[in-house]
Structures are given as C-alpha cells and as structure tokens.
Chain A
Amino acid sequence: MTTDTHGHDVDRDEVDIDDPRLSRFEIVREGARRDGIEIVHYEDPFPIPGTKAERRTVRTVALLFLITGVAATAFMLIYILWPWRYELGANSSKLYTPLLGLTLGIALFGIGFGILSWGKKLMPREIAIQDRHDGPSDRQERKLTGETLAYMVDDLGIKRRKWLGLAALAGLAPVGLVAAAPLIGGLIKDPTKERILFRTGWDPAENGGKLVRLTREDGTPIRPEDVSVGGQMTVFPGIPDGATNEHADSPTLLIHLRTKDAEKTRADAKPINVGAQWGNFVAFSKICTHAGCPASLYEQQTNRLLCPCHQSQFLITDNARPIFGPATRSLPQLPITVDEEGFFVATADYKVAVGPAFWERP
C-alpha cells in the first residue's frame, strides 16, 4: 500500500468542506490539497455550452463510437456467415481472416479515438502539481526502524550463543539442497550413458549386429547406379524409424563424385577417413558441425557444401574440411561399401561424434 497520504500544509487555512457555498470542484481541489496536490490550472475547453465548436466536437466523438458499432456488427456477421474453412485455390475463404482483422481493427480504433478525443477535446484541461516527498525517510524514523531490526538479532542472542548459529547453518544448508534436489534431480539425464552423443543410427548395434543399409526417406535401399555422376542424395540408416527425428543425428549425404574429384578425395583422405570411400562415392554427415543445421546446399562445380543457417562451407574433396564461416570441424565421413546384394551399407558408425561440438568432445 502507498503510505504517502500526506497531511495538509499547516500554514494554510483549511477549507470547511461542509460549507454549502462551495462548488463540487472546490471540494475536489481541497481534497487534492490535502494529498499534497495543487491544481494550478483548470480550464473547460467549452465554457459556454452549446457553441458551434462544441457541437462539432461532440458530433465527431459520437461518430467515432457509431463507427465502432458498425464495424463490430460487421465483424459478427462475417464471423458467423462468411465461409471460413480453408479451401485450395483463390476463393472467398481466403478473405475471412483479413476481413475479421479489418473490422476488429476499425472497431477498436473507433473506441480508442472516441475515448481519446472525449478526454482530450471535451474534458477540462488541467495542470496539477504534486510534491514528490522524495529523499530518505525522517532521521528519527530511520533510527527507530534500524534499532528495531538490530534488536531482533539481539533477541536471538546469536552473539552470545555462537555455536547455536553455526549449528543452525550446518543443519539448514542440507535442507536447502533437499528442497532443490527433487526439482532438478528428476530432470538430470546422464549424457555419457551409452555414449548417446557419440553414436548414431549407423551403428550396427542398432541393427542387431548387421551392417546398416543406406536408404531413402521411404526406407528403400540404394544401388550405386541410383545416383548419377555429380549427383547427391540424402540417405538414412536402414533401421526402423531411421528417417525420422528419432535419429536426428543420422541424416547423411551420399555424393557421386566425378572420377577426377574422387581420385583427389581418396589421395587427400585423412588417416581417419582412409577406406571410407567406395569407388567414386563418398558419404558425409549432413549435420553441420557448427550448430547442427543440415548442411544441405551442395555446389556441384566446386564440390562445396554450404550450411544455410550460418554459412559454413565445407570442401567435400578435402575431407569435408571447413573453408569458410564459423564451423571449425570437418564433417565426419561415413565409411561405406556395397553388400553382396549390390546395395550401399555403412561398414561402421561414424568414427567421431556428429553435429555440434561439446565439452567432452576430443
């Protein structure tokens, strides 16, 4: 509650508010005075009732309210009668939302400007001055409160009984932990368990020990001839739900390089990537090592892969090394081969964690 209900000035004669000669405004002004507020200027914009200017203003305000009535009625009619369900193509259902917005907006504007012009044009203008009563409290008040607070500490006798204070602290600190533990403890999930941040759907362990096939979004396996030279395809682990967000770290880009590029890629392969390539085919993680967006814009001529989120660019022919933008790590390469039925399989999981880096990542 506010406490600044100040008394009136002492050196001012108090008005007898029961004096029948006082107008209501004079009583209001006296009330304000007793709250430390002086209404220094008060002016009716239309002191003579019924002037042309006043009638004009009243008409304007009334018109604004009437516009609101019309717009609100239109809103209701449109809301109920207009065809609102979505239908393909250009039709009147597309106008439903715009018409609702238009009528609602006009209705609210009518109220808003109506109230504002009523308040600003028709009501008396005033200038009032209020004392701030800022600054600190009275010195005596401060002392009294301060001593009261200090005496509370004395009452407890902490100074006399030092051990009691320490014991209370030692006892209460664990209680604080007890209060926090159930709130936070239930949420904690160990990231090191099953090395979830290092494993993807390409791990044969996910597939009952069998090598995981490279599949399309619909789960069909892929033969080498399905990808034309210079072409690329997003592939998923051929396991249940392999193409869904259950395995959000598994999407991989299978690229069919031109022979010259493929030779260069093989020659430049880092030790970790040696043997990962199959013929002219390479497969790299599609999950950007910077922030985890899919790095999906492949520029065939330069063999660059661009991530549209923060514009990291990776050079596929050089171990998918980052060559521009904020990414620091190469895209991990998925070791691939073709099984006896002629479909692509991953010979193992990624050798390093895919996606954005984290503290425990070597």
Chain B
Amino acid sequence: MKRRKVDVNAVPGKVAGGLDERFQAATPLRSILNKVFPDHWSFLLGEIALFSFIVLILTGTFLTFFYTPSLTTVTYDGSYAPLRGVHMSEAYASSLNLSFDVRGGLIMRQMHHWAALTFVAAIVVHMFRIFFTGAFRKPRETNWIIGLTLFWLGFLNGFTGYSLPDDALSGTGLRIASAIMLSIPVIGSWVTTSIFNGEFPGHVIMSRFYIAHVFLIPLALLALISVHLGLVFKQKHTQWPGPGRTEHNVVGERFVPRYTIKQGGFFMIVFGVIALMGGLFQINPIWLFGPYEAYTVSAASQPDWYVMFLDGSTRLFPAWELRFDLWGWGEGYTVPPIFWPTVVLPGLLTVLPMAYPFIEARLTKDYRSHNLLQRPRDVPARTSLGAMAIAFWLVLTLSGGNDVIADKFHISLNAMTWAGRIGLLLAPPLAYYITYRICLGLQQHDREVLAHGVETGIIRRLPDGRFIEVHQPLAPVDDEGHGHLEYAGWVVPKKMNRLGALAPAIRGFFFPIEKPAEAPVSPGHPPVEPKSKREEITK
C-alpha cells in the first residue's frame, strides 16, 4: 500500500475546517477575536481580583488535601516543638501539620492568605474606580449590584476561611460572630444554636464552615464572577472621553492578540507578587497564637483588614441597649448594643450602595445610558460623597486597631475611643467639604488653561516696567488673547512638554544620546497635535 504523505502545513486548516463543519464557529469566533477593548490602567483593578481568585482556587485546593475540619481534641505531636503535647482541636493540629510537616505547605497557606487579602482589596479599589468615574450608571446598574454582592461573598469567604485553623485569634473572632448572631432580635438565639448546633462552640461548626468556605461560597462567587464578566462582554466596557471616542463606539485594541497578551502578562505579575508575599512576608502565624481556648485572648488581636471596620464600629458604638417587656409577655426582651454596629450598619452599607445608581439617576433626572466615563472632578457631589464614605470607613478601620495605636503612641485607650466616636461624626462631612472644594478648584484650573493657555515659566518685562508670565495658548485666540476651547471631559495639558515643547535634559548614562525628543505618547494622555504654524510668543 502506498503511504499517503501528510502535509504538515495543511493540518491546522483541516482541523479548523472540521471543527467548523460541526460547530459553525467561524463567524461568532471571529467577532470575539476582534472585539475591541478600551485601555487604561484603572481598568485593570478588577482583573487583580479575578487573578487573585484563580490563585485562591489553586492554593486552596492544595490546602484541602491536608486540612481536617474537626473539633475533636487531639494531642499535638508534630514538628513544631513548642506545642508538642498540647491538647488542641484536630482542625488546629492539621493546620499546624500542613504548615510544618508538608513540603511547601507553609508557602501555600501564606499565598492563600495573601491572595485572599489581595482579592478583597482589589474588589474594593475596583469599586472605588467604578464609583468615582460613574461607570455604575445606566445600563450597568446590574453589574454594580453584582459587584457589591461579590464583595460581601468575598468577605464571608474570608471570614469562614480565617476561622478554619481554630487558633486562639480566629476562635475569638468566631465567638464574636456568635455574639453578633445572638444579637439579632427575635430569631437571634435560634439562628445561633442552629448554626452551631447548640451552644458555642459545639462540635460541628468547623465542618459547616469548611463546606461553606470550599464549596458553597466559592460556587456562588464563581457563578457571579461569570455573570459579571459576561455582562462586561455583552454591554462592552466603558471608556474615557478622548479623540474619536463617543457614547456609541469603543476605541481600543482588539481582544486577540494585544489585549489577551497584556492580560496574560498581568496575570503572571499578580501571581508573582502573591508568590513573593507568600514566601517573604509572614501572615497569620497560627503557631504563635496557640489553640483556641474560651478563656485566653491577648491584646492587639486584630482581624484581617477588611473586617477591621466592623471591629472598629463595635468598639465605638456607645453602650446603648434596648430592654422592654412586651406587655408583660415573657420575662422581658433585649436588643443588645452589638446589634447596631454589626448587623444594622453592614445592612445599610449593602442596601445604600446598591440603591445608589437609582438614587443618583432620580436626583439628577438623568435616565440616559452612559458609556463614557466622567472625571471625578467633573461630578463634585458624587466624588465628595465617595470621599465621605472613605473617611467614615477609615475612622472605623483605625478604631479597629485603636488599642495598638494607644499602646504604641502612649495615648489613653479611652481617649482613642472618644476620638473615634467624635471623628466618626466630624471626619465625613469635613471630607465632603474639602473634596468638593478640590473638585471645583481643579475644574476651574482646567477652564483657565483652556482660556489662557499653559504657563510657560517665561517672565517678561514690559516696557512700562510690569512683569508678566507668558502663556502658550492651546488654540487660536481672539483679540483679547482668550482661547475658546470647550472642555472635553478629559485631561487638559498643563505643562509645556505635554505640548511637545521643552526637550528633556540630555539622556544617556555614560554617553549622552543626542536624539531629538519626542512628544510623550500614551493612551492616557493623547498628544496635542502641534499647530502647523506656531504663533510667535509675543505677549
């Protein structure tokens, strides 16, 4: 039989043809490959969260091979000598084992923890970006709500994961969580005993948290992340205003190859940063805390950073308790003080932001769809509201560590508490006012440069003895020397070298490189075309 010669070059084409005969993929595939994505550094913040999530799944799966979610008491007999012979839960013992007696286990655990911190941090910063640029406006309200849900799911998954090692610190956190559940009016004690299967801590909480942490919540996260990305894909990404950019187009790079290549590189860098942190920076050294015992705690016990604001609110809230008897029915009832800062406050912090896109649309009577982003300075009221929220959160978070601040700076602890209480009332309105003024100032400066031109730094003495600074107009001027450029919602060049003037100093390290300077070009700062006939600076 004659052997047929295989033409290697024709193989990809043949395979592709075969696939298309079966799936008719050519048209939809091409439209995905060609899809245009706008580019700006601030659009990459959400990706950090996505990449951290992938690292979390990878490292977390590894950890499940060694962790035992059990509160059965065992005697530790592992490599970590200081705890040998100590009675502890199996959960804590297995966490120690995977840190000390599994090759590379510690770096996996630390990478997992750092990735979790990065995950929530990236979500929060990404949310700031969305808020301050108005990217949540119609038609993207749904994705804003999904994003907020993702934050709380990340928060919950962080807390359940933090509780799993059953060390002294996380056990204390769990006890506070049980107090928070207990505080819910009417159903609180039922909720708590049902979750813990009896009194705190019971025997089942670790296995319940475990299945929530490794299956239920990640599943919800995965589903919502898919919808989140799917909606970004379907609705197309927002973009900054700029040359050629309108509400009805997307200006950028095609999905494949440039955009995907950049994303792939960025993933590796996020992964690398997490690896470096996981290896070099110790996080949650559970072996130093010891096993959880209901009667031990130390000062300076702080939760992970994203829980600290709730710790702070709990510390600051005054000792206000509601006690009443329902017309003599029962022995009397209580709404404990911890209910307000840990159940009501997070509730408000969920509902208010979720409703914000609709509230803003109603107040500004703006029900149109928006695909162009706004610079924060151009919407001072919203920007100031955001600053107000950040100030509120910052006071709470700092108060979550007020015992450490009091200790390190030799301040009275009670004074720190009062400073937090007063600061919580004063800082947000102050932040609002200051941010509003800054926004207006920046707006004004943009308009001034558009009207009068860029400061050149050249001082000229006029014949009558006056000194003036020479300005470089951005466009032709009228008889009075005023430009008539409209503000375009984007960066106004304010330095001469943004206009292509002023060559930089001599380049080169050992030998000067004599090459004419180029105007800097970046997507963030579109170069202003130099006018073909530049006017002589005369005034």
Would you call B201 and A290 a contact (CB within 8 A)? no
A220 at the B interface (CB under 8 A): no
Tell me which residues across on chain A come within 8 A of B73, comparing CB atoms.
244
Considering the complex, give the chain A residue whose CB is closest to the CB of B341: A326
Q: How far is the CA of A196 from the CA of B197 in the complex (A)?
A: 12
Would you call A292 and B104 a contact (CB within 8 A)? no
Would you call A126 and B258 a contact (CB within 8 A)? yes
Distance between A190 CB and nearest chain B CB, rounded to angstroms:
7
Q: How far is the CA of A91 from the CA of B334 in the complex (A)?
A: 56
Considering the complex, give the chain B residue whose CB is closest to the CB of A132: B248
B538 at the A interface (CB under 8 A): no
A32 at the B interface (CB under 8 A): yes
Tell me which residues across on chain A come within 8 A of B266, comparing CB atoms.
112, 116
Tell me which residues across on chain A come within 8 A of B319, comparing CB atoms.
312, 322, 325-328
Q: Which of these, B190, B265, B277, contacts A115 with CB under 8 Å?
A: B265
**Which of A80-88, A160-168, A262-270 has 4 or more CB atoms under 8 Å from chain B?**
A80-88
Considering the complex, give the chain B residue whose CB is closest to the CB of A286: B295
Considering the complex, give the chain A residue whose CB is closest to the CB of B236: A132
Would you call A294 and B103 a contact (CB within 8 A)? no
Tell me which residues across on chain B come within 8 A of A84, comparing CB atoms.
103-104
Total interface residues on B, CB under 8 Å, equals 115
Would you call B183 and A88 a contact (CB within 8 A)? no
A140 at the B interface (CB under 8 A): no
Distance between B511 CB and nearest chain A CB, rounded to angstroms:
15
A356 at the B interface (CB under 8 A): yes
Would you call A135 and B193 a contact (CB within 8 A)? no
Would you call B189 and A108 a contact (CB within 8 A)? no
Would you call A292 and B176 a contact (CB within 8 A)? yes
Distance between B294 CB and nearest chain A CB, rounded to angstroms:
4
Q: Which of these, B104, B315, B334, B336, contacts A310 with CB under 8 Å?
A: B315
Tell me which residues across on chain B come within 8 A of A128, comparing CB atoms.
34, 36, 251-254
Within residues 284 to 298 of chain A, which ones have a CB less than 8 A from any CB in chain B? 286-287, 290-294, 296-297
Would you call A245 and B369 a contact (CB within 8 A)? no
With contacts A31-B30, A37-B254, A191-B190 known, is A123 near B261, CB below 8 A? yes
Contact code string B219-243 (vs A, CB < 8 Å = 1, else 0): 0000000000000011110000000
Interface of A is mostly: loop
With contacts A102-B279, A119-B265 known, is A358 near B315, CB below 8 A? no
Q: How far is the CA of A39 from the CA of B34 in the complex (A)?
A: 10
Q: Which of these, A123, A329, A356, contacts B257 with CB under 8 Å?
A: A123
Q: Which of these, B30, B318, B331, contacts A362 with CB under 8 Å?
A: B331
**Which of B148-156, B296-304, B346-354 has 4 or more CB atoms under 8 Å from chain A?**
B296-304
Tell me which residues across on chain A come within 8 A of B333, comparing CB atoms.
359-362
A99 at the B interface (CB under 8 A): yes
Q: How far is the CA of A175 from the CA of B1 in the complex (A)?
A: 69
Distance between B385 CB and nearest chain A CB, rounded to angstroms:
27
Would you call B264 and A196 a contact (CB within 8 A)? no
Contact code string A115-152 (vs B, CB < 8 Å = 1, else 0): 11011100100111111101100000000000000000
A109 at the B interface (CB under 8 A): yes
B292 at the A interface (CB under 8 A): yes
With contacts A2-B233, A35-B31, A187-B195 known, is A131 near B249, CB below 8 A? yes
B172 at the A interface (CB under 8 A): yes
With contacts A105-B275, A132-B371, A251-B294 known, is A86 near B100, CB below 8 A? yes
Would you call B182 and A35 a contact (CB within 8 A)? no
Q: How far is the CA of A158 from the CA of B107 in the complex (A)?
A: 62
Tell me which residues across on chain A come within 8 A of B189, comparing CB atoms.
191-192, 197, 358-360
A357 at the B interface (CB under 8 A): yes
Would you call A85 and B234 a contact (CB within 8 A)? no
Within residues 309 to 357 of chain A, which ones have a CB less than 8 A from any CB in chain B? 309-312, 322, 324-329, 355-357
Would you call B335 and A359 a contact (CB within 8 A)? yes
Q: How far is the CA of A197 from the CA of B331 in the complex (A)?
A: 15
With contacts A189-B193, A287-B294 known, is A130 near B403, CB below 8 A? no
Q: How far is the CA of A106 from the CA of B275 in the complex (A)?
A: 9
A101 at the B interface (CB under 8 A): yes
A-B contact pairs, 16 of them (CB 8 A): A86-B100, A100-B107, A105-B273, A111-B268, A127-B251, A130-B236, A134-B139, A134-B236, A189-B190, A190-B193, A197-B199, A234-B295, A297-B299, A310-B315, A329-B321, A360-B333
Tell me the B residues contacting A by CB distance below 8 Å: 27-28, 30-32, 34-36, 71, 73, 79-82, 87, 100-101, 103-104, 106-107, 110-111, 139, 172, 175-176, 178-180, 182-190, 192-195, 197-201, 233-236, 244, 247-254, 257-258, 261-262, 264-269, 271-273, 275-280, 292-301, 311, 314-321, 330-338, 369, 371, 402-403, 413-414, 417
| Extra pairs beyond A99-B279, A102-B280, A358-B336 (14, CB < 8 Å) | A5-B27, A35-B30, A37-B34, A37-B36, A85-B100, A96-B106, A116-B265, A127-B252, A128-B254, A190-B190, A249-B200, A291-B314, A355-B179, A357-B183
Report the 6 A-B pairs with minimum CB-CB distance, sorted nearest first: A101-B279, A112-B268, A108-B272, A105-B276, A119-B261, A116-B265
